[in-house]
Structure 1
Amino acid sequence: MSMRPLRLREASLPLSFAVCGGLSLLALGARADAATLTGNAALTTDYVWRGSTQTQGDPAAQAGFKLASDSGFYASVWGSNVEFAPDTHASSELDLSLGWTGKLAPDWALDLNVLHYRYPATTRDLNWTELNGSLTYADRYWLALGYSNEALGSRDGGLYTQIGARYPINPRLRVEAAAGYYRLQQVYGDSYAHAQLSSVWAIKAPLELRLTAHATDSAAERIFGDDYAGDRIEAALQASF
């Protein structure tokens, strides 16, 4: 069963052009405002997104880059292999985002962005765009919201909410926990909840090893099927540079 709705819809080219155009404008604007380029890469045993596998439990290679200005505005691109239902022929995902992040107070930070999901070379239009915001306290606790009127590539709205926390045990080990709820009544006539618990070991800069246990409720299994939802363990070797 596909992780994306199989209903056809009009192509969202204006949205994708706007995001791509915004990336170019931000890059040009970096000449007038000091900017920093960072990147990340990961090899994972499973690409799990909001509790459900995007690779049918198979490994994934992922990489991304972020260009951020001193004023807080940023643009990023990130990619991974995926494996949806065979009839979609979806084999890769490319995420493009434009956003702003900054301090609201000494312990409070806000991140707002527009995120566009693209699935090149598919037989169906699975592309969609989402508005996201996250509020972080003391760099340890966060509340995140994501809304789209074309959730999961449909023509309908979906609202995602997540709360989470991270706790450093020592300089090389930390634990992270998060719980999310995805309201998809307009898309599937149902909604689901998921949770995850991670241990992250700093091996040697910039390498980290992450082990994550994921769990979803029965509603996720009804929506996506047992092959995509349920309980699973994910291990990833990741690096930031």
Structure 2
Amino acid sequence: MGALVIGLAISGSALAGVDGNATLTSDYVWRGSSQTLEDPTVQAGVKLSSESGWYASVWGSGVSFEPDAGARSEFDFVAGWSGSLSDDWALDVNLTHYMYPSTDVDLDWTELNSTVTFKGNYWLSVGVSDNALASDTTGTYAQLGARFPINDQWRIEGVVGQYFLDKAYADDYLHGQLSAIWKVHGPWELRLTAHDTDNAGKRLFGNNAGSRVEFAIQTAF
């Protein structure tokens, strides 16, 4: 992954751009589970991409888990390729490494992800890992999502995800989320999201799963 970043930086003529994002959220919810014990946090990321479709990115967020393993931050390092397959279809394939510095136990793990998008508004994502959620067991995550633009300022987004986990670790669980997004001005957006998980998710994550509402202010630059 580091070699890809260096290669993109050296080949300046091949760079398509550098993009960034920042978010202030009331609760960092990932695949149906709160990663901050329902507390607010700040998130930010940067992405370096080439004209050929190769890219590398890093994204960070505050975290807080229970039981407490000492994790206070999460960094996601991503390297992959994205591009159009046709006028309607696009593909993104990447390797994501989830890193949690300064923890009492090793929580780091890696996942291979792929996303197929249709007309920019409908997508299917699949992620596979032989160390899902740092459990030393296999896991496959599948997500089906859609966005519905209402006008230039408003859109609705919905996601349904299923995590297929090794029975030695936990039962498979289902989650869903529904968001209303308001484009306030330029790149600034307000997002209100309702999350929920099934009972298997609650058994795995306890009070960090189940029904919750998240509010976020986000921007891209």
- By the TM > 0.5 criterion, same fold? yes
| Corresponding residue for residue 174 of structure 1 | 155
| Corresponding residue for residue 26 of structure 1 | 8
Post-superposition offset of 1:186: 4.2
Identity percentage of aligned residues:
52
| Corresponding residue for residue 118 of structure 1 | 99
CA gap of 1:21–1:126, structure 2 versus 1, over 3 A, is farther
Report the secondary structure of 1:188's partner residue.
Answer: coil
Paired with 1:96 and 1:26, the residues of 2 have a C-alpha distance of: 15
Paired with 1:71 and 1:81, the residues of 2 have a C-alpha distance of: 33
| Corresponding residue for residue 193 of structure 1 | 174
Paired with 2:203 and 2:40, the residues of 1 have a C-alpha distance of: 24
Paired with 1:182 and 1:228, the residues of 2 have a C-alpha distance of: 16
Post-superposition offset of 1:187: 5.1
Report the secondary structure of 1:170's partner residue.
Answer: coil
CA contact (8 A) 1:94 1:118 kept: yes
CA contact (8 A) 2:37 2:66 kept: no
Letter matched to residue 208 of structure 2: Y
Identify the match of residue 210 of structure 1 among 185, 191, 214: 191
Paired with 2:181 and 2:130, the residues of 1 have a C-alpha distance of: 34
| Corresponding residue for residue 234 of structure 1 | 214
Alignment root-mean-square deviation, CA: 1.1
Report the secondary structure of 1:120's partner residue.
Answer: coil
Post-superposition offset of 1:182: 0.3
Identify the match of residue 82 of structure 1 among 63, 75, 78: 63
Paired with 1:160 and 1:187, the residues of 2 have a C-alpha distance of: 17
After superposition, residues 1-241 of structure 1 pair within 5 angstroms as 19-28=1-10, 30-186=11-167, 188-225=169-206, 227-241=207-221
Report the secondary structure of 1:105's partner residue.
Answer: coil
Task: State the aligned residue count.
Answer: 221
Letter matched to residue 79 of structure 1: G
TM-score (norm 1): 0.89
User: For structure 1, which segment, 200-209 or 19-28, has the greater mean C-alpha deviation from structure 2 after superposition?
Assistant: 19-28
Post-superposition offset of 1:156: 1.1
Paired with 1:168 and 1:153, the residues of 2 have a C-alpha distance of: 37
Post-superposition offset of 1:189: 3.4
